[in-house]
Copies of this chain bind each other. A is one copy, B any other.
């Protein structure tokens, strides 16, 4: 794991990504998007897979969330069907019926029960799903299923909305000599806030896992990754992260070390997908890593990091290359955690700007230059004593707020 004092590195050149054993997928176009871009993705396990899911905590949630949430954790999952271009959210009872019909149509093709199929939708809110396009699109999508790398790229592309690049990651490991793989795909670029984001992710592995193990692995990873990113603090209606384990590698975690290896691989895949969402944040010109340390609880550190990450004044300052540390310290001040301001220190890109509650002289011109030159920004706030101080830390990722974000989001539906 990356140490809390080192910012997340820039992504390496696109790694080769492969499906784990037992999975096939496809990406195709059924005509939901006016642009004519791909909008239907299928992920299928040859045999019943163990599966777990985590979903948006928004009280107003999409119909696919309602349908899929009731079907996991489970041991007999065969497929995930995802459409982009329409979120099927705020569509009332007919929306729920449509989500069920999507899963039934896939199940009919795979010869399995409808509740062995999970469903996700992403796109505009409040518009009925065009079932006359989706249902005829499903048999061709099934006929295109393949285990090839190209199919994986096409499936990853078919779930995108305003994203500018596809997000997919593979991680190989070995369990008692048996090679095992964890592969994930995700989408998301805005309406991104903890718990969770307009964000879909499917993580697949060929390890042998129980539904309970899937659930545990997923919660561990999501709490440290997808729940630690924010573009705009707006929790969407559709957020879903699914983990499917086909067991097709035959690799079984034989003990705590093996299980830890799988846990680290799932964490790695989720962290890379989550930070890729921030790297693709709408209109953003900076990728910001916020490290908060020295708090008594992880919850307190999380609240403080989130308040900093969500402040429009912090985000606009960084967009302008302005080392305006007063906005960062004052955002921590209103997060609801009680603390002693005289114990707060802050570094921006490694430069100390505030120490033990008082300003530190620094070259604003030099720091501004570094903020303007570098896409990566590292904010480190630490507490050295007083109420709420302790050993806990949280790393949170966010983007800056630019005119381009405003422009993109002022012109979305009309």
Instruction: Name A residues whose Cβ lies closer than 8 Å to a Cβ of B.
Output: 57-61, 87, 89-93, 124-127, 190-191, 193, 195, 232-237, 310-314, 316-317, 319-327, 329-334, 337-339, 341-342, 344, 354, 357-359, 364-365, 368, 401-403, 405-407, 409-414
Cβ B234 vs Cβ A333 within 8 A: no
> How far in angstroms is the closest Cβ of chain B from A162?
12
What residue of chain B has the Cβ atom nearest to residue A346's Cβ?
B90
> How far in angstroms is the closest Cβ of chain B from A401?
6
> How far in angstroms is the closest Cβ of chain B from A409?
4
- B-side contacts of A407, CB under 8 Å: 403
A61 to B60, CA, bound (A): 36
Q: Tell me the interface secondary structure of chain A in the complex.
A: loop
Copies in the complex: 2
Closest 3 CB pairs of A and B: A125-B326, A320-B410, A60-B333
Cβ A57 vs Cβ B326 within 8 A: no
CB contact under 8 A between A90 and B354, given known A316-B409, A324-B413, A412-B322: yes
Q: A58-B333, A322-B410, A322-B412 are in contact. List 5 more A-B contacts (CB 8 A).
A: A59-B341, A92-B357, A234-B331, A324-B412, A365-B414
CB contact under 8 A between A406 and B412, given known A125-B327, A233-B311, A341-B60: no
Return the contact of A317 from the options B93, B354, B410 (Cβ within 8 A). Answer: B410
What residue of chain B has the Cβ atom nearest to residue A193's Cβ?
B334
Q: List 28 A-B contacts (CB under 8 A).
A: A59-B337, A60-B332, A60-B333, A60-B344, A61-B341, A90-B341, A90-B354, A90-B357, A90-B358, A125-B324, A126-B325, A126-B359, A190-B313, A234-B311, A234-B312, A234-B331, A235-B330, A236-B330, A313-B409, A316-B406, A317-B409, A320-B414, A321-B410, A321-B414, A322-B412, A324-B413, A364-B413, A403-B406
- B-side contacts of A316, CB under 8 Å: 405-406, 409-410
A93 to B341, CA, bound (A): 12
Return the contact of A358 from the options B92, B127, B332, B401 (Cβ within 8 A). Answer: B92
What residue of chain B has the Cβ atom nearest to residue A400's Cβ?
B410
Cβ B406 vs Cβ A58 within 8 A: no
Cβ A334 vs Cβ B364 within 8 A: no
> How far in angstroms is the closest Cβ of chain B from A105?
24
Return the contact of A233 from the options B87, B310, B338, B358 (Cβ within 8 A). Answer: B310
A407 to B195, CA, bound (A): 30
- B-side contacts of A193, CB under 8 Å: 334
A411 to B322, CA, bound (A): 7
- B-side contacts of A314, CB under 8 Å: 234
Looking at A331, A342, A402, A413, the one whose CB has the most chain B CB atoms below 10 A away is A413
- B-side contacts of A60, CB under 8 Å: 329-330, 332-333, 341, 344
What residue of chain B has the Cβ atom nearest to residue A125's Cβ?
B326
What residue of chain B has the Cβ atom nearest to residue A369's Cβ?
B414
> How far in angstroms is the closest Cβ of chain B from A305?
15
